[in-house]
Amino acid sequence: MKKIMFLLIIFILFVGCISPSQLELYKITDYFVNSISSEDVSYSIVDVKNSKITKDGLYSVSPIGRLIKVNIENCVGFDDYKQLKEDLSLYYKNDARVHGVYICNVKTIVVDCRY
């Protein structure tokens, strides 16, 4: 399954639909999804040491409990957050470990990995 997803991502990248920054974002969120599900880990509320930022500084990702918070670091509109939510929802559509992707009121995307 992981191999198929990886090959699909590479194919889409070559087609030009996913930016390198977004591909890196998927790798970071995958890391947290895997750690939460495989190690039965729950991160603390203020877990700054585990926060990660993409190399270009466009996205920041922070685990909170069994949730993964994704922020766009640039000043962007709500439509950009809606698009990111749709992209992440599509990416995790068939992943049973992810129960939903939501937009919070404070322009934050949350990937829900709770039981």
DSSP bridge pairs for 61 = 52, 70
DSSP state of 84: H
pLDDT of residue 115: 74
pLDDT of residue 50: 81
- Between 106 and 74, the more confident residue is 74
Domain boundaries, the chain: 2-112
Instruction: With CA atoms as reference, report the closest residue to 61 among 42, 79, 45, 48.
Output: 48
pLDDT higher than threshold 50 for residue 15: no
State how far Cα 13 lies from the chain centre. Answer: 17
Q: Which fold has domain 2-112?
A: Phosphorylase Kinase; domain 1 (3.30.200)
pLDDT of residue 105: 78
Q: How far apart are CA 46 and CA 97, in angstroms?
A: 23
Q: What is the identity of the amino acid at 12?
A: I
Q: Write the pLDDT tens digit of every residue in 52-66.
A: 999 999 999 998 888
Q: Write the pLDDT tens digit of every residue in 34-44.
A: 888 776 666 76
